[in-house]
């Protein structure tokens, strides 16, 4: 899929080589850069040793972001439009199941590969890329922890994005303290089915997604009493709140999801009873890399825009880019982005290697990249002066979109809790 798309996008002839899932190799030297590539020069081979294959799918994602996302993302934000057709076209390129097995339509890429792709996509539209990240997170849980039946029943539709997925952990009274969740899944004696009751809050894709990965309490208080279930839209007793009115991420809906005696067959439980919280947290390690990558792509867009603007905008007899204050600010923005990129990719590589430090590094990278990149959007807005504050220019939208990355997938305070806990585990006092 990626090969065909790259060929369409850049005229490249690609061939599949695949020792580790999908590898892509150029057979034409002309394959690499689009005419107006937005990929930052520092994101190329020399700083993190991207393989030729990685450069190829980075190029595919950049082309998709430039042609299919960036021209429309302001309109989607203004109209609160969830671009399902565009998202489904992203699936044609393999973005619906990035690190899912090929036997069920996935691309079998690594977490590092995926981080490169999410960064490139979010340059064009942050909330669309972020929704793809959440969808991929659910796909990963089914692929990694699901039964053969669950993989067969769900993943082909999910990787092709005929069906969309949502991740349901947060509840109205349990956000950061997610293991205190109250939603129940009571086993009914005769049938063995589970009966789900309760409510989830802030669910991305709520009401639109077809499959919901739901964490609910089957046993004791705390994390060990939680199990994970796949619940299909249309199941009796499942309903959705109205879309929340939000600061950003307006190109995807966020709703409450309500469960009123929702009957779920036991074959839809993912993992063993009591394993649900563990699966949910494992999924978030990867989700945090992706959301960090989405912050980097958004910040890179703001830096690119601000540099172009400051070279054109005149004040005191010349372009404002001539002022050292401007140059220092730009230098700091570029440094923040590059530091974020290196941390996110390093964490992704740690996750790929199943390193014992992976959870800590994912939390560090998410905390650092989302904070630093949000500040970059604020700097870019300042460089555009009053125009930065206008909706006619894109910076304020990227700023609004990146703000929530400091809150979701675990707040940045929760990241610090995780980092401390992991430090203590790795190096007990």
Stretch that binds ligand FAD, among 21-29, 112-120, 160-168, 283-291 (CB under 6 A): 160-168
State the Cα–Cα distance between residues 208 and 300, nearest whole angstrom.
30
Site string for ligand FAD, 11-50 (x = CB under 6 A): ----------------------------------------
Considering the rule CB under 6 A, would residue 175 count as an interface residue with ligand FAD? yes
How does strand 211-217 pair with strand 165-168? parallel
What are the angstrom distances between the C-alpha of 427 and each of 357, 365, 366, 423?
11, 20, 22, 6
Q: CB of 23 within 8 A of CB of 29?
A: no
Q: CB of 156 within 8 A of CB of 226?
A: no
Q: Closer to ligand FAD by CB, 176 or 327: give it.
A: 176
What minimum distance in Å lies between the beta carbon of 417 and ligand FAD? 6
**Contacts with ligand FAD in 45-84 (CB under 6 A)?**
none
Among 170, 300, 305, 336, binds ligand FAD (CB under 6 A): 170
Considering the rule CB under 6 A, would residue 169 count as an interface residue with ligand FAD? yes
With vertex at residue 166, the alpha carbon angle to CA 163 and CA 171, rounded to the nearest 5 degrees, is: 155
3-state secondary structure 87-141: HHHHHHCCCCCCCCCHHHCCCCCCHHHHHHHHHHHHHHCHHHHHHHHHHHHHHHH
What are the angstrom distances between the C-alpha of 184 and each of 200, 304, 323, 364?
11, 48, 60, 32
What minimum distance in Å lies between the beta carbon of 173 and ligand FAD? 8
Q: Which residue is nearest to ligand FAD (CB)?
A: 175
Q: Is 162 a catalytic residue?
A: no
Exposed/middle/buried for residue 200 (C-beta within 10 Å: 0-12, 13-18, 19+): buried
State the Cα–Cα distance between residues 291 and 61, nearest whole angstrom.
16
Among 182, 246, 278, 313, binds ligand FAD (CB under 6 A): 246
Tokens of 259: 């469960």
Site string for ligand FAD, 190-209 (x = CB under 6 A): ------------xxx-----
Q: Closer to ligand FAD by CB, 203 or 364: give it.
A: 203
Across the strands, what pairs with 264?
194
Site string for ligand FAD, 383-422 (x = CB under 6 A): ---------------------x--xx-xx-xx--x-----
Considering the candidates 244, 409, 413, 422, report the single residue annotated as catalytic: 409
Exposed/middle/buried for residue 113 (C-beta within 10 Å: 0-12, 13-18, 19+): buried
Site string for ligand FAD, 114-143 (x = CB under 6 A): --------------------x---------
Give the footprint of ligand FAD on this chain (CB under 6 A).
134, 166-170, 175-176, 202-204, 246, 249, 254, 404, 407-408, 410-411, 413-414, 417
Provide the annotated active-site residues.
409
């Amino acid at each position: 899929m990626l090969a065909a798309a790259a060929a369409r996008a850049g005229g490249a002839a690609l061939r599949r080589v695949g020792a580790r899932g999908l590898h892509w190799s150029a057979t034409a030297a002309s394959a690499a850069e689009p005419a107006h590539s937005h990929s930052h020069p520092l994101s190329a081979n020399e700083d993190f040793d991207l393989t030729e294959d990685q450069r190829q799918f980075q190029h595919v994602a950049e082309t998709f972001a430039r042609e299919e996302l960036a021209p429309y993302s302001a309109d989607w934000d203004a109209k609160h439009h969830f671009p399902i057709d565009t998202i489904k076209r992203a699936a044609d390129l393999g973005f619906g199941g990035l690190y899912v097995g090929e036997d069920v339509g996935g691309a079998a890429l690594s977490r590092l590969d995926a981080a490169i792709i999410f960064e490139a996509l979010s340059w064009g539209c942050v909330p669309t890329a972020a929704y793809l990240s959440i969808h991929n997170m659910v796909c990963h849980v089914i692929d990694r922890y699901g039964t053969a039946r669950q993989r067969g029943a769900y993943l082909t539709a999910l990787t092709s994005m005929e069906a969309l997925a949502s991740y349901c952990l947060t509840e109205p009274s349990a956000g950061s303290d997610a293991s205190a969740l109250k939603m129940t899944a009571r086993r009914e004696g005769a049938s063995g089915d589970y009966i789900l009751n309760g409510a989830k809050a802030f669910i991305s894709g709520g009401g639109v997604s077809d499959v919901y990965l739901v964490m609910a309490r089957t046993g004791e208080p705390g994390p060990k009493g939680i199990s994970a279930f796949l619940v299909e839209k249309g199941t009796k007793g499942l309903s959705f709140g109205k879309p929340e009115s939000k600061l950003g991420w307006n190109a995807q809906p966020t709703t409450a999801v309500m469960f009123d005696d929702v009957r779920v067959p036991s074959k839809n439980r993912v993992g063993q009873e009591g394993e649900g919280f563990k699966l949910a947290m494992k999924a978030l390690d990867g989700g945090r890399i992706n959301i960090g990558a989405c912050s980097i792509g958004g910040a890179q867009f703001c830096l690119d825009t601000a540099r172009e603007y400051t070279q054109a905008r005149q004040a005191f007899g010349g372009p404002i880019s001539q002022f050292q204050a401007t140059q220092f600010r730009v230098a700091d923005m570029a440094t923040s982005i590059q530091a974020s990129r290196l941390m996110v990719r390093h964490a992704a590589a740690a996750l790929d290697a199943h390193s014992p430090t992976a959870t800590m590094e994912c939390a560090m990278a998410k905390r650092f990249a989302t904070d630093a990149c949000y500040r970059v959007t604020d700097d870019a807005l300042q460089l555009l002066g009053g125009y930065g504050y206008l909706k006619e220019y894109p910076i304020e939208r990227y700023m609004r979109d990146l703000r929530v990355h400091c809150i979701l997938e675990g707040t940045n305070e929760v990241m610090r809790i995780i980092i401390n806990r992991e430090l203590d585990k790795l190096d007990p006092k």
